[in-house]
Structure 1
Amino acid sequence: MRINLPTWLTLFRVALLPVMVVVFYLPFRGHNLTAAVVFVLAAVTDWLDGYLARRLNLTSAFGAFLDPVADKLMVAVTLFLLVESHRGGWPGILMAVTAAIIVGREISISALREWMAEIGMRATVKVAFIGKLKTVMQMVALVVLILQHEKGAEALRLYHIGEGLLVIAGGLTIWSGLYYLRAAWPMLRGEPPRQPGAGKGAEA
């Protein structure tokens, strides 16, 4: 199997995950900024591999499988880091619940897409604008939370902004999940599948 450039970028994104975990916990000055840079680099490769795949027509079955897996791993690992290191009390509970909603939605929608693909109706469950908005909000929130992690009282206000953005992303996660569920609901009820519309949606 020959691996093309977009797939190499996806593999690089996966390889960045353990680097981010190690940097996140290492007690050196600027570890927060370094971890945030690693996360942003991973996010940039997420955009770049998709752009190159479309622009240069460098698509492959392995790349199509690996890209959404890498995206979900990046988000899930980052959320686990933030939840584990978050202070206790209601803010910690809110962070944990929001992370559970986001990860739970990703697992559920991935399973839904897989089932729809098995019955030849995967195009019915395609990305909507709300899914793209959720992704952008989620990425911005995670960058802010990583950057401001354990930086002291002077950064607490910005950290709270990151928490608020993550909660909003959690709300959008539920909204987009219901959108996908509504699209697939007729098939889930056992109704005869209709032909999907034209076009193919990307993962979000």
Structure 2
Amino acid sequence: MNKEEANQTQAGKEQKAPKEMDANDLPKVTAFQDEATREYMVSTKEVEPGYYLLESKSKKIRMLFPEEGKYSDLLSNFSKNEEIIGFDEYDKEANILMNGQITYYQGQSFLRKTDTMIEIISGKNKYSEEYQKENKDNTEISIGYKKSNFDNLDRKNNYSYRYFGFVKPNQSLDEGVEYSFIFTCKDDNQSCSLDEKIARDKVKKMISSIQFSCNKEE
């Protein structure tokens, strides 16, 4: 094999999707070692420390995904106008469990007005406060937050942080992403370093990275 052929072979290997690769050749993190999760992984290239690129099955959105994130079949669904991607991440050292859910909608009337979608999300979460609003990379982002207490009062870490809201592309009237993230201390017998600011920053990193195919430059 000459140098040119070797380069072509190497390029072919780099272009292969993670789901088509042997697990032994993939990064030794949950996002790639879990068979169901790596179906969504675009590349083995780390985009930011601890994050890789996820693409929905509809190919309508991409976003940063944590390296220890694991796809949840029970929280996921895929149909013509709706795709739900549920996943968990457990940080053993910090004893923090994150449950995440991203729902992509397309072609539904309630998407045409952001205020209508926000009313729906507020109703689901029994939320009456204002949302933090941001505009970034051709998207409009709304962020809501609640601290909730569990019914089990005997539990030491008796609370969770919840973040929810909506991400809408500026280039489309009838699509968007609803999201929900919950952070809790998993094991009550271990110390837990759950911090609201750290949790919020993690959520903002992921939802701010959402890219809609309609916003891509031709």
- Normalized per residue, the structure richer in strand is 2
Greater RCO (CA < 8 Å, at least 6 residues apart):
1
Whether TM-score is above 0.5 comes out as no
Taking structure 2 as the reference length, the TM-score comes to 0.25
Taking structure 1 as the reference length, the TM-score comes to 0.26
The structure with more radius of gyration: 2
- Normalized per residue, the structure richer in helix is 1
